[in-house]
Chain A
């Protein structure tokens, strides 16, 4: 069945450090891939998405590229800020179906 495997946390970085959160997936067909972010005390917010192979999703300095050959969708940011501290969820969804989420990676950025 469909599933998402996400790098376990927690991750602690200093401000301006480079961030990578790994995500790989298993799915039949051609899913869309997503990163959602959950700030403390808030709900899930869509951070970025990619709907087909080689697409790059980007938002707020974050990027992820849909790699079909490695079934991956790693999240990156060149220079993190304290305000990026949150839990990040990788997810996939095939057309007309439910979301499958990873377990989430908690990121703490320290000044």
Chain B
């Protein structure tokens, strides 16, 4: 079964550093998403991306965050200057349509900011 692949599975970074979280969505999917889950809390929407631009973003997705589809297969989330409160599990997801279909989620990248 097709998968959404995320790398790395765990990343530790120092506060203030930039990190890039990488995702390879399912190949024929057109819609891409990032969500995050702070430990013990609910999974929260960050951003959706379609046709090479952001289609929706939450208030969490401020200027320190950016997304990019640098080539035909990768979808990245960049955090410019990490803060301690950015420590969370970050999930990438993709879907082939925006309607009544479930996403396919990746297994997540656990980001720890120290």
Binding site for B on A (CB under 8 A): 32, 34, 36, 42-46, 49, 51, 89, 91, 93, 95-104
The A contact surface, by secondary structure, is strand
B105 pairs with A43, CB closer than 8 A: yes
Interface check B45, CB cutoff 8 A: yes
CA distance A95 to B41 in the complex (A): 25
With A43-B105, A95-B98 as known contacts, state yes or no: A104 contacts B56, CB within 8 Å.
no
A43 pairs with B42, CB closer than 8 A: no
B36 nearest CB across to chain A (Å)? 11
Contact among B56, B91, B102 for A49, CB-based, below 8 A: B102
A44 pairs with B105, CB closer than 8 A: yes
B33 pairs with A101, CB closer than 8 A: no
Binding site for A on B (CB under 8 A): 6, 33, 35, 41-45, 48, 56, 58, 91, 98-100, 102-108
B50 nearest CB across to chain A (Å)? 10
B100 pairs with A98, CB closer than 8 A: no
With A95-B99, A95-B100 as known contacts, state yes or no: A43 contacts B45, CB within 8 Å.
no
Residues of B within 8 A of A103 (CB): 41-42
Q: Give me the 6 closest cross-chain CB pairs, A-B, nearest first.
A: A43-B107, A96-B98, A98-B45, A44-B105, A101-B43, A43-B108
A-B contact pairs, 29 of them (CB 8 A): A32-B102, A34-B102, A36-B105, A43-B6, A43-B106, A43-B107, A46-B102, A46-B103, A46-B104, A49-B102, A51-B100, A89-B43, A91-B43, A93-B100, A95-B100, A96-B99, A97-B98, A98-B33, A98-B45, A98-B56, A98-B58, A99-B35, A99-B103, A101-B43, A101-B44, A103-B41, A103-B42, A104-B42, A104-B43
CA distance A98 to B42 in the complex (A): 14
CA distance A103 to B99 in the complex (A): 24
B104 nearest CB across to chain A (Å)? 8
B40 nearest CB across to chain A (Å)? 8
